[in-house]
Amino acid sequence: MCRSIKTLRPPVLPDEATDDDIHAAALQYVRKVSGFRAPAAHNREVFDRAVAAVAEATAELLGGLEVRGQSVRSVQPARSATSRNPA
């Protein structure tokens, strides 16, 4: 149903996770949990809100993690699905 969600923190990911990396991981998570690769039209709004919420939580987590030998990283909060994909 979906590819594996990759680890987004160093040293596994050599550079900081991008908004696209974070969004892709959030999308994969929501797809796996919901069981839908693409939601029906009547579920699209709640699906997109869930992706945005997971992406925001992921960015917050990555921004606050302290990895041994590295300082706290500064990760920009992920943009919401509506700002990423204007209708």
pLDDT band at 1 (very low <50, low <70, confident <90, very high): very low
For residue 81, give both structure tokens: 């699905």
Q: What is the mean pLDDT of residues 63-83?
A: 61
Domain spans in the chain, listed from the N-terminal domain onward: 19-84
pLDDT (tens digit per residue) in 16-46: 888 999 999 999 999 999 999 999 999 999 9
pLDDT (tens digit per residue) in 46-65: 999 999 999 999 999 998 98
Give one DSSP letter per residue of 9-78, joined into a string.
STTTSSSPPPHHHHHHHHHHHHHHHHT-SS--GGGHHHHHHHHHHHHHHHHHHHHH---TTSPPP--PPP
What distance in Å separates the CA atoms of residue 56 and residue 54, rounded to the nearest whole number? Answer: 5
Query: Are 55 and 78 in contact, with CB atoms under 8 Å apart?
Result: yes
